[in-house]
Amino acid sequence: MSKVMNEKIIPVLKQIKPLDQEAMNRTKERLDSLTKPRGSLGRMEALAVQLAGITGDFFPVNSRKKVIVMAADHGVVKEGVSAYPQEVTLQMIANFVNGGAAINVLARQAKAELKIVDIGVIEDVNLPGVIGAKIRCGTGNFVREEAMSRLQAEEAIAVGISIAKEAVGSGVKLLATGEMGIGNTAASSAVMAALTGYEPLLVVGRGTGLNDQQLKHKVEVVKKALAVHKPDPQDPVGVLSKVGGLEIAGLSGLILGAAAERCPIIIDGFISTVAALVAIKIAPLAAAYIIPSHLSQESGHALLLNYLELIPYINLEMRLGEGTGAVLAMHLVEASARILREMATFAEAGVSGREKVKERCASAVKKY
């Protein structure tokens, strides 16, 4: 367990337990009895087993699903690390509220609820339906000062935990992470480099579509920030406070809260996976509750997934964020639940199983 000291967080970390092995064994037995060769549905079967281990039973079909989009601004935008200006954060939140963004379209298709959280937008967000949980108005420019105080990082984590617990308490069975914040790939790259030891050159990506010269500059910005603050890789909350983002901290808390409530949580792309990295560094058992949705085109994402030993389910060359990849993976979760609950066993279908086939083969051999 890391150095997290916030009294709202410590009890939650103690709630996170290993997966239910008995439920996983029951699920494996049922999968092996279905009308198919053993293991023939590949990772869909492994997903069903993981879901059973998380929830303690076969995962329910048509579960309530919710994607949480954490929104925040980043002071490092002043260093020219984004192709878009900072005001786009608020403009995109308005687009979410009006139902016009990609995440709206995909959430509607998946029949998933969408909730936007203002955890650190620099401007006032007076829009209907947006959860106001602002810790501060954007982070500091981490090249020149710490992104936030340690207390603020812990408060942002606590916000995520609270939202997860409230969602599960209201009947949500599947959560997904999303984010919005101009400049957040720079912060995510800095956090990843600090916690993994990877060189910034390997983890810093083009984000909003930087050209080669802009990308080179972004790498140098992250290098400079790490040199200035020298964040301790053994202290994930300290790393967040020095070079992180409020939405990254909030999503880390969302993951921890979901794990504490034994609720599966699908992570989106690079930023969400960095949040998962922080959560796992804080509470290693949380890793078992995470479902990796897709492989982002951000250059650090494949490295980070490999570091965390997570294999994404989808590769559509996406890099939008917002939770779009996570919501697409909701269909796979429902499919794995349907296979387990609705597919017939050999006995139910009256189909000869493996043992019966072996008996017939042995009998035929004896005749000759």
Spatial separation of the C-alpha atoms in residues 35 and 154, rounded to whole Å: 49
- Distance from the Cα of residue 179 to its chain's centroid: 10
Spatial separation of the C-alpha atoms in residues 34 and 345, rounded to whole Å: 4
Residue 109 phi, psi dihedral angles, 5° rounding: -65, -40
N-to-C CA span, the chain? 66
Task: Give the Cβ contact number of residue 325 at 10 Å.
Answer: 30
Task: Using DSSP bridges, classify how beta strands 265-267 and 174-180 pair: parallel, antiparallel or unpaired.
Answer: parallel
Assess whether 29 carries a catalytic annotation: no
Question: Helices 184-196 and 246-260: crossing angle, nearest 10°?
Answer: 60
What's at 35, amino acid-wise?
Answer: T
Task: Using DSSP bridges, classify how beta strands 290-292 and 131-132 pair: parallel, antiparallel or unpaired.
Answer: unpaired
Residue 94, CB-side half-sphere exposure with 13 Å CA sphere: 9
Which one of the listed residues 79, 179, 247, 322 is annotated catalytic?
322
State how far the alpha carbon of 141 is from the alpha carbons of 27, 150, 366, in Å.
49, 15, 80
Spatial separation of the C-alpha atoms in residues 267 and 290, rounded to whole Å: 7
Contact 181, 247 (CB under 8 A): yes
Residue positions annotated with a catalytic role? 322
